[in-house]
A and B are shown apart, each in its own frame.
Chain A
């Protein structure tokens, strides 16, 4: 029993990362408000970052900045590099998303996707 609990606690980070991913995923596919979709996407993104960084962690390790002491254990620097650039790219692409939201608001006067679908259906009916 204790070994099962041990295994669960050993993977605690991964399980909570998955919970975080579920929250973000639900917000992206279920919510109609586009700003909320973007925030959901950011939560999703952060959960992936967390997974990578958790994998790179070594217990009793330290940040990968060389100390000159040969006995020091360093955490894996490779996930850090990948995620560092991903964060900055993430904000740049988020900005593109917000720009599109602003244009949608200016054209349709709403940012709820079901309202936009209704408006577009009206337009096609008018055209016929």
Chain B
């Protein structure tokens, strides 16, 4: 699809708006439908669109694997860290009242942090799932290529429909 100008132009308009919409869903989740889970998936959809239109390599460039792994862990750590912070402030685990003098402000802050953690993890997980599945074919081909010096049994191992 890299050569189709219609696709490319539409993708360029669509990708930033999808990301913006994801941020809206993330931070407006307190007041309307939405939240970390939905926002994460929509944010990931922007990167998946990018990779399908402009090719897997450019897609990987926009979201490097190392950063991805860090983001997967960071989200869970942010969630758990919020819980630990409330414990250090003398309340129960994940009781956000401790985060501020005003319980309602504390709850708001806690929910924001926790939803952000969920959003980061979900977005990174979805993107990495897509890249792993889509990258499998290239991975197998590369394994084949490095195996050609050895007696070639890899050819007989069918790969389904390439």
Count of chain B residues with a beta carbon within 8 Å of a chain A beta carbon: 17
**A92-B37 in contact given A105-B160, A106-B140 (Cβ < 8 Å):** no
Q: How far is the CB of B87 from chain A (nearest CB, A)?
A: 23
User: B151 at interface (Cβ–Cβ under 8 A)?
Assistant: no
* Mask: chain A, 75-106; 1 = CB below 8 Å from B; 0 = not: 00000000011011000100100110010011
The answer to whether A109 touches B157, judged by C-beta atoms less than 8 angstroms apart, is yes
Count of chain A residues with a beta carbon within 8 Å of a chain B beta carbon: 14
The answer to whether A106 touches B157, judged by C-beta atoms less than 8 angstroms apart, is yes
User: A117 at interface (Cβ–Cβ under 8 A)?
Assistant: no
Which B residues are closer than 8 A to A by beta carbons?
31-33, 35, 37, 41, 122, 125, 129, 132-133, 136, 140, 157-160
Can you add 8 more A-B contacts, CB < 8 Å, to A88-B37, A88-B41, A109-B158? A63-B33, A85-B37, A87-B37, A95-B133, A99-B132, A99-B133, A106-B140, A106-B159
Which A residues are closer than 8 A to B by beta carbons?
63, 65, 84-85, 87-88, 92, 95, 98-99, 102, 105-106, 109
